[in-house]
Structure 1
Amino acid sequence: MNIYELDTPAVVIDLDVLEKNIEDMAALCRELGITLRGHTKSHKSPEIAKMQVAAGSKGIVCQKLGEAENMARAGLDDILITYNIVGRQKVRRLTELARYRRITVTVDSFAIASGISEQAKLDRVTIGILVEIDTGGKRTGVQSPAAAEELGKQVQTLPGLELRGLMTYPSRVSSKPIIEDVVGRFKKASLSLDIISGGGTGEEWESKELGFTEHRSGSYVYEGLSRIQGSSGNEGLSAERCPLRVITTVVSVPTADRLIIDGGMKTFRLFPSMPYGLILEDPRIKFSGMSVEHGHVDTSESNRKYIVGDKLTVIPTYQEGVTNLHDEIVWARNDQVYRVLRNHGRGKVK
C-alpha cells in the first residue's frame, strides 16, 4: 500500500532516514571513542531500540519505569533509568524488572536510595545505582561533589544496591572542574566509577572531553546528529534529516488563502509552539494556527489550488511529542508501507 492511501492522520517513519540517523550516531561515537547508550524516550519503540543496539548502542536508556518495562518485555536488556524511582508501587515494579534484566537507576538522595534498597533486600535482587550530580541542568541531581561523595558512600552500605558510578545531564565542558572534583573524590574514597554517564544529542564530544565512559543520546533518531530548534522557525526540518512525518487530509478550503487539515493539537502536540511543522508538498504554505482537531494552513503565498481530499505531509516541529499521541506508527520505504506497529510505549509515563 502507498502511504497516501492510509487513513489520516497517520504517523509515518521513513526507514531509510531512520536507519541513516542511527548508523550516523553510532559511527560518530565510534570515531570519538565514546560508548553510546541510546535513549528511547523519543521514540518509545522496542523495535527502534533494537536497531540502536544492533548499530552499537551499549544497552538503552529509559526515562520512566513504564518505558523500561515495555522495553524489557520486548527482550531488551542492560537498561538505565535516569529518573528517581519514588514510592512503594514503583519500587516493587523496579525490583520485579530486576529479576530478569540488568537494571541501573539514578538517585540524588538517601531517601530515594534507601527506598529502593528496602524492597531490593526483600525481593533478593540487585539494583545498580548511579549517583546523579547537577552540573548545570538545574533539574535533579545532588548539588555538589561533596554531596555526591557522601551519597555514594551511603549507597555502598545499603543492601540490594550496587554502586556503579555517576551520571549527569547535560554534558558541558564548562562543568569540567565539577566533574574532576567529584571523580577525584570517588577515586579517593574507592567508590565505583564503572560508569560515568553524560547525555544530550549533539554533545557526544563533550562527554569524551570530560572523560565520561558513556554518552546518552536519543533525539538523533528523529533529528540527526544535533537538536533542531524548531520553535524559532522551520530551520533544520527536512525530509533528508527527519524520518517522522504526519500525513494529513485537507477537509476544508473555506477561502482562497486558507485550508484546514484533519490534524490539530491532538495530532501534533497540545499547545504546540509555532511554527508547528514543515509541509513537504509546498514549503510556501504554512501553519497559521491550530485548534484541538483542526490544523489551520495559510496558502496565500502559494499559486497551487487545493481541494478537499488533497494530502499534505507534515514534519512536526516536536516529533518526540507526536509519538506519544498515536496508537499506530507506520514504517515505510519509498512511500510504500513496510510495517504497521502498535505503539505500546504510548502513555508509559508512570
Structure 2
Amino acid sequence: MASPRLGEPGTRYALNTPALILDLDALERNVARMAEAMRQAGRGLRPHAKSHKSVRIARAQIEAGAVGICCATLDEAEIMASAAIPGILVTSPIATAPKIARLVELARQAPDTMIVVDDPRTVEALSAAARRGGVTLRLLVDIELGFGRTGVVSAEAAEHLARAIHADPFLQFCGLQAYGGHLQHAADHEERVALCRRAHAFISAIVRHLGALGLPPAMVTGGGTGSHAIDAAEGPFTEIQAGSYVFMDAEYRAVSYAKDTAWPFENALFVQTAVISAHGAGTVTTDAGTKSFALNGPKPPIATPRFAGAAYDYAGDEHGRVRAGPGGALPGLGELIECVVPHCDPTVVLYDHFCCVRQDRLVDIWPVDARGRR
C-alpha cells in the first residue's frame, strides 16, 4: 500500500476507503493506562494479541511492562515468536497432529511458549511429540467457567491433568487458565461483579485443591477487558489477559465500567468510509458494508462529531447507509465519515493494514501481521 505524504496535514483524509484508522495517541494512552492499573493492583498483564494481531502493538505492550502476550492461534503465536515477542501463551487447546508438530517447532524457537490443555489424550499426544522432538512443552490446565467452550469442569479433572503433566519429564506444569468470555460483556456492573465472584470462588477452590496435593499452580491467568478491574482487585489471578482495551470498540462501550465511573480507555480504532451516492430521502450511501465491519456486534456508531446524531446501517456487502437523526445533517457526496468499530477483533482481520494517524495526519502504515492462516 502506498504511503500518501506521510506526516503532512490532512493526510488522514487522503486514503482509499474503506480504511482502518488507528489513532496512535489514543492507543498509546490505552496501553499505558492498563499497564499502570495492573502495576497498581500487583498483577501481571499478558494481553491478548488476537485483538490486534500486530507485532508493533505487542512490542509496545511488552515495553510498557506486560509479562508476555496471549495468542488465540498457532498462526498468531508463530508470527509473534518470529518477531522475538517473549512470553507467548496459546490460549486454545490443539488436538491435531499437524498443529502439534508446529507447536514443537515453536517451542524449539521460543522455549518459554506455553499452551493450555483440557484433555488427557492431548497431554499424551503432546508428551509423545515433545519426546520425539527433544523439547519440553510448558502446559496450563484450562478451566471452564460456564462459557461452554473449552476447559475442565471440576477440581478432580484438573488434578488428573496436573498430575499427568507433573509426572512427565517432557512436560512442565505451569498453572491454570480460567477465562470466561461470557463475563466480559455483562452490561450491568453489579451483575458482572456477581458473576466474576462466582467464577473466582470456583477457581480458588481448584487452586486450594491442587495446593493440598503438592501441585500449587504458580500461575493463574485469565480475565479480560470487561472484567479486568474486578479480577485485579479481588480475584485469584496472578495475571490478566485483557486485549480489547487497546482499541475500545462499540461492544465494550455498551458495558458499564463501574458505578458512576467512565471507562479509562478511549476509542482508538475506526473505519473511515466515503459517501458514494446521495439520492435517498434522508439517507446517503457509503462504500463500507458488511465486508468492512464485524457483524457480531452493534451497528457502527458514527464518530465524526458533525454527524454523531446520524445512524449507520449496512446496505449490502460493499455499501453502508447513513440515516440522519432528528434535525441532523448528513454528509455530502464524496464526504468522509469515521465509525467506531463494532467488535475490534473480527474487524481487524478484514484489513491488511492499520492507517496510523495523529490528529489529521497519516503518520505510518502498519501491517496486520498475523492476519490469515499459514
Normalised by the length of structure 1, the TM-score is 0.91
Assess, with a 3 A threshold, how the Cα gap between structure 1 residues 311 and 76 changes in structure 2: closer, same or farther.
same
Structure 1 partner of 2:75: 66
For 1:246 and 1:265, the matched residues in 2 are separated by 12
Contact between 1:39 and 1:217, CA under 8 Å: does it hold in 2?
yes
Q: Does the Cα contact within 8 Å between 1:63 and 1:82 map onto a contact in 2? A: yes
Alignment partner, residue 334 of structure 2 = 309
User: Which residue matches 1:137?
Assistant: 147
Shift of 1:134: 1.4
Match for 1:346: what amino acid? R
How many residues get paired?
A: 341
Cα displacement string for residues 161-216 of structure 1 (whole angstroms, at most 9, x for unaligned residues) = 11111110137221333223211221122225221112211323443423321111
Structure 1 Cα separation of the partners of residues 102 and 29 of structure 2? 35
CA contact under 8 A between 1:17 and 1:243: conserved in structure 2? yes
Give the match for residue 275 of structure 1.
299
1:50 is matched with 59
What residue number does 1:85 align with? Answer: 94
Q: 1:214 to 1:288 in 2, by over 3 A?
A: closer
Aligned-residue CA RMSD (Å):
2.2
Aligned residue identity for 1:19: E
In 1, distance between residues paired with 2:155 and 2:51?
30
Q: Is 1:166 aligned to residue 176 of structure 2?
A: yes
How far 1:311 sits from its partner (Å)?
A: 0.8
Match for residue 350 of structure 2? 325
Identify which of 310, 316, 322 aligns with 1:291: 316
Does the C-alpha gap of structure 1 residues 72 and 143 become closer, same or farther in structure 2, counting only changes over 3 Å? same
Quote the Cα distance in structure 2 between the aligned partners of 1:156 and 1:135. 24
Out of 99, 121, 127, the position equivalent to 2:131 is 121
Identity of aligned residues (%): 32
- Could you tell me which residue of structure 1 aligns to residue 166 of structure 2? 156
- 1:259 maps to 284
Matches within 5 A, 1:10-49: 10-49=19-58
Partner residue in 2 for 1:199: 223
> Following the alignment from structure 2 to structure 1, what is the Cα–Cα distance between the partners of residues 311 and 22?
22
Q: What is the rounded CA distance, in whole Å, between the counterparts of 1:344 and 1:181 in structure 2?
A: 39
- Secondary structure of 2:217's match? coil
* Counterpart code for 2:128: E
Deviation at 1:302?
4.7
Shift of 1:229: 2.9
Find runs of 4+ consecutive structure 1 residues off by over 6 angstroms.
Answer: none
User: Aligned partners of 1:296 and 1:206: how far apart in 2?
Assistant: 38
Of 196-205 and 322-331, more deviation after overlay is shown by: 196-205
Change (3 A) 1:300 1:334: closer
Provide closer, same or farther for how the CA distance between residues 243 and 300 of structure 1 changes in structure 2, counting only shifts above 3 A.
Answer: closer
1:133, CA displacement in angstroms?
1.3
Partner of 1:189: 213
Structure 1 residue 306: Cα displacement: 3.6
CA gap of 1:274–1:214, structure 2 versus 1, over 3 A, is: closer
Secondary structure of the residue that 1:80 maps to in structure 2? strand
More strand by share: 1
Contact 1:258/1:300, CA 8 A, preserved across alignment: no
SS in structure 2 of the partner of residue 301 of structure 1: coil
Residue segments in structure 2 that go unaligned for 5+ positions in a row: 6-10, 184-195, 256-260
Task: Give the residue type in structure 1 aligned to 2:242.
Answer: S
Contact 1:256-1:300 at 8 Å conserved across structures: no
TM, length-normalised to structure 2: 0.85
Q: Which amino acid aligns with 2:164?
A: Q
The 3 A distance-change label for structure 1 pair 300 and 143 is closer
1:134-175 Cα offsets, whole Å, 9 max, x none, are 133322111101110111101123342111111101372213
Q: Which amino acid aligns with 1:39?
A: H
Name the SS for the 1:143 alignment partner.
Answer: coil
Instruction: State whether residues 246 and 315 of structure 1, in contact with CA within 8 Å, keep that contact through their aligned partners in structure 2.
Output: yes
Q: Deviations over 1:215-262 (max 9, x none)?
A: 1111110118x93338xxxxx999x81111111111001224111111
- Is residue 105 of structure 1 aligned with residue 115 of structure 2? yes
Q: More displaced, 109-118 or 183-192?
A: 183-192
SS at match of 1:249: strand
Distance 1:306 1:167 in 2: 47
Match of 2:370 in 1: 345
